[in-house]
Amino acid sequence: MSGSRYTKMSSQVIEKMENELAFKGSCQDLPLSSSYEAAMEALSSLITRQKRGDRTPVGGKFGKLERMSIYLRILGLEEKISGLKVIHVAGTKGKGSTCAFCEAILRECGFRTGLFTSPHLIDVSERFRLDGLDVSEDKFLIYFWDCWSQLKENVSEDLPMPPLFQFLTILAFKIFISEQVDVAIIEVGLGGKKDSTNVIKEPVVCGITSLGLDHMEALGNTLGEIASHKAGIFKPQIPAFTVPQLSEAMDVLEETAGGLMVPLQVAVPLDIQRWGGDTLSLSGDHQLVNAGLAVSLCKCWLQRTGNWEKLLEKKQDEVAAGLELPPAFVRGLSTARLSGRAQIVHDTPLMFNGSADTSENSGELTFYLDGAHSPESMEACARWFSGATKANKTSTPLSSPPSTSFNVLNMKSFWGNGCLNYENDCVQSSNKMSKQILLFNCMDVRDPQILLPRLVNICGSSGTHFSKALFVPSVSTYNKVTSGTSVITSDIPTTRDLSWQYNLQRIWEKIIHGKDVSLDKSSKMDSVDSLPPHELLYQDISHCSPTDRNFACSAVMPSLPLTIKWLRDCVKENPSLRLQVLVTGSLHLVGDVLKLLRR
């Protein structure tokens, strides 16, 4: 175990460089067809056309977990998985965040970490992190093609290639085992009992995050049924933690735990007054619940692997000085990151070092990105957005944003508690006219009749009102796995069907006007002329009229790249404007926006 990573830094750095070189060497031997794009093509071929909730087996005579075991055996991984010291996390909402907190905490404690989360936003490699960083392309390619070719050699009618998520799970195990991580933090894909990740037989500890109604087509219609799927990750006598739940869910968790002699405890949400840090790196009140769970999971993991006492020995002074948590925990909770969840991106022509300041000639454009797509998460998202835009109005604490993986000139991006700006920006901001804009899309399996009113009501109850809503199709789809370098064109496909977006708009207008409004629109758009005039954004809500052809409260936008350009042009044209754009409803949409802002 590399418990004292920091003291051995120099030799480890050398070793790492040697490894990377060795990797590069072996990559050069890969045939051209084994490039990253080819890997994406291969992955895309694993996407099953099966509708969610359709339970007919997608191939072969074996059950899903049975197949997982066979694949792992083919790859020689089955035995080795038991050597991984796993934290396994299921739940409806907060899995990724909880896992990200756990990863950062244990890395700060000095361990080599592996983190497997889903879904990804921009590039599939985001799903696999080693020591807090997305797996490098070189390593990804080696492990990917290794798994791919071995499985391809062994497929048969009874045992076809695994579907996408199963393959990605196998790949995660392959990477973490080969890279000899000290801890593997594994997020369940869907449910628990039947999830591909549930081949883990003896995790160190299990976590169940907030439970709610989602994926009912696969998991059942009641909270109890859903809880029963999630509790399917419990293993005999292995400790488990959850968060405060409704009794309908908690009863089922307790019952399942009882049957397996699982000691199940409820982790208390983090007390922000007493935790010893400044701000959590992931914002929103709901993150206190996730952080509390992560603290319990990590503490348990450290105890069960014999490292808790060691950690206390080293840091006893600080802990004795009255801090609630060991300093490594505080550092982890203050730095964990997960893109597209309550993420703020300041899209200005300013550079990070502030040297190219042209903002006086331009308005401000800030994106608030949150991939919420279920009713509960939409509420959490609404509360966060209201709070974050308010915090900005009163120009509260000014601190430097944490560093980010983005390194682009015209974008500042960070994860924070609504503390948006550097000092200079706040002064400039004070005389700008703020407008809150919604940029929304959701998949047609979601119910916008629930999502949109929730968003409007929660925001409204804290005084946040959207002056406009823009409905736009996402660029990426479920049919293709793309890489971060894949091109997003601004062309509008002539055949694009926007009827779903018009449907969203109709629901929106009904919420705003309190009655049905008839829309006389063709559901196809094929020209840039279809973009609304910039004035749409300047008018205030009192000018909105359901009879106005341009629907002043909302607009359907023909393409996302054009929408971003349109927003940028709007603020360029109007220096006194400050647009705060909430992007939500779909992780695809959020990922696409992030991708477009990066360049």
Ligand X SMILES: Nc1ncnc2c1ncn2[C@@H]1O[C@H](COP(=O)(O)OP(=O)(O)OP(=O)(O)O)[C@@H](O)[C@H]1O
Contact residues toward ligand X (CB under 6 A) are 91, 93-97, 118, 209-210, 286, 289-290, 341, 370-372, 376-377, 380-381
| Partner interacting with residue 281 (select from ligand X, Mg ion, none; CB below 5-8 Å by kind) | none
Tokens of 216: 């009912």
187 in a labelled binding site: yes
Cis peptide before 327 (omega within 30 of 0): no
| Partner interacting with residue 94 (select from Mg ion, ligand X, none; CB below 5-8 Å by kind) | ligand X
Length of the chain: 599
| Partner interacting with residue 412 (select from Mg ion, ligand X, none; CB below 5-8 Å by kind) | none
Task: Tell the smallest beta-carbon distance from residue 435 to ligand X (Å).
Answer: 23
Q: How far apart are CA 141 and CA 30, in angstroms?
A: 9
Nearest CB to Mg ion, comparing residues 563 and 586: 586
| Helix axis angle, 375-393 to 286-304, nearest 10° | 110
| Partner interacting with residue 341 (select from ligand X, Mg ion, none; CB below 5-8 Å by kind) | ligand X
Nearest CB to ligand X, comparing residues 250 and 311: 250
Q: How far apart are CA 463 and CA 467, in angstroms?
A: 12
- Closest residue to Mg ion, Cβ-based? 96
Query: What is the per-residue burial (b if ≥16 Cβ within 10 Å, else e) of 68-88?
Result: bbbbbebbebbeebeebbbbb
Tokens of 98: 């909880």
Contact yes or no for 337/97 (Cβ under 8 A): no
Nearest CB to Mg ion, comparing residues 218 and 312: 218
Q: Which residues pair with 129 in a beta bridge?
A: 115, 134
357 in a labelled binding site: no
Residue 416 found at the interface with Mg ion (CB under 5 A): no
- Residue-by-residue DSSP string for 349-387: S--TTS-S--GGGS-EEEEEEE---SHHHHHHHHHHHHH
118 in a labelled binding site: yes
Task: Tell the smallest beta-carbon distance from residue 243 to ligand X (Å).
Answer: 7
Contact yes or no for 241/296 (Cβ under 8 A): yes
Q: Looking only at residues 334 through 373 of this chain, which bind Mg ion when binding is defined by CB under 5 A?
A: none
Contact range with Mg ion by CB under 5 A, out of 93-101, 159-167, 298-306, 333-341? 93-101
CB 65: neighbour CB atoms within 10 A? 16
Nearest CB to Mg ion, comparing residues 189 and 561: 189
Task: Tell the smallest beta-carbon distance from residue 16 to ligand X (Å).
Answer: 29
Task: Tell the smallest beta-carbon distance from residue 329 to Mg ion (Å).
Answer: 22
Mask of contacts with Mg ion, 45-84, x by CB under 5 A?
----------------------------------------
| Partner interacting with residue 590 (select from Mg ion, ligand X, none; CB below 5-8 Å by kind) | none
Task: Tell the smallest beta-carbon distance from residue 418 to Mg ion (Å).
Answer: 23
Task: Tell the smallest beta-carbon distance from residue 502 to ligand X (Å).
Answer: 26
The position carrying tokens 């359709």 is 54
C-alpha to C-alpha distances, 71 to 50, 190, 433, nearest whole angstrom? 21, 20, 58
Residue 96 found at the interface with Mg ion (CB under 5 A): yes
Nearest CB to ligand X, comparing residues 141 and 168: 168
Contact yes or no for 129/22 (Cβ under 8 A): no
Question: What separation, in Å, do the N-terminal and C-terminal C-alpha atoms of the chain show?
Answer: 40
The percent of the chain in helix, strand and coil, each rounded to the nearest 5, is 45, 10, 45
Task: Tell the smallest beta-carbon distance from residue 262 to Mg ion (Å).
Answer: 23
Q: Residues annotated in the binding site, as ranges? A: 118, 187, 215, 341, 370
For binding to Mg ion (CB under 5 A), which residues are involved?
A: 95-96
Known binding positions for ATP: 341, 370
Binding-site annotation, residues for Mg(2+): 118, 187, 215
